[in-house]
Amino acid sequence: MSDGGGRRRRTRTPRRKGSARPFWGNPDTAAGPLDPVEPVEHPTALIDSLGVPPFPRADAAPHYFAAVYARATGMALALAHAYGIVLDPEPDADPTEPGPG
């Protein structure tokens, strides 16, 4: 008789146990931010100050770089808002009152 087509049986290897510490670390010992994040008006100011990129067709490149920098700045600001470290532009303003205008 055959044992099922000549297939070998797999032996199971024992699994490793997970780490005893939590995945996200210990919130009591985590370092917090030193300063709040302040949104910028012109995210490409530093890169623009360096001049034209040294690439062929450099006249078209700044538009694409500006789009990437704006997207990266927006994502970083969204993460900062989620973490609660964005500098409030008007700390005296009451959020329940309608703004001027």
Q: Note the pLDDT tens digit of each residue in 66-78.
A: 899 999 999 999 9
Alpha helical stretches, state H, 1-101: 45-49, 61-83
Confidence at residue 101, expressed as pLDDT on a 0 to 100 scale:
46
Query: Is this prediction's pTM over 0.75?
Result: no
If phi over 0 gives left and psi between -120 and 50 gives alpha, with beta otherwise, what is residue 60? Answer: alpha
For the chain, state the CA radius of gyration: 27
pLDDT digits (tens, 9 = 90+) for 21-64: 666 767 777 776 668 888 888 988 888 898 887 877 767 777 88
Q: What separation in angstroms does the CA of 29 have from each of 26, 32, 34, 45, 78?
A: 6, 9, 15, 36, 25
Report pLDDT for 78. Answer: 93
Interatomic CA distance for residues 63 and 53, integer angstroms: 11
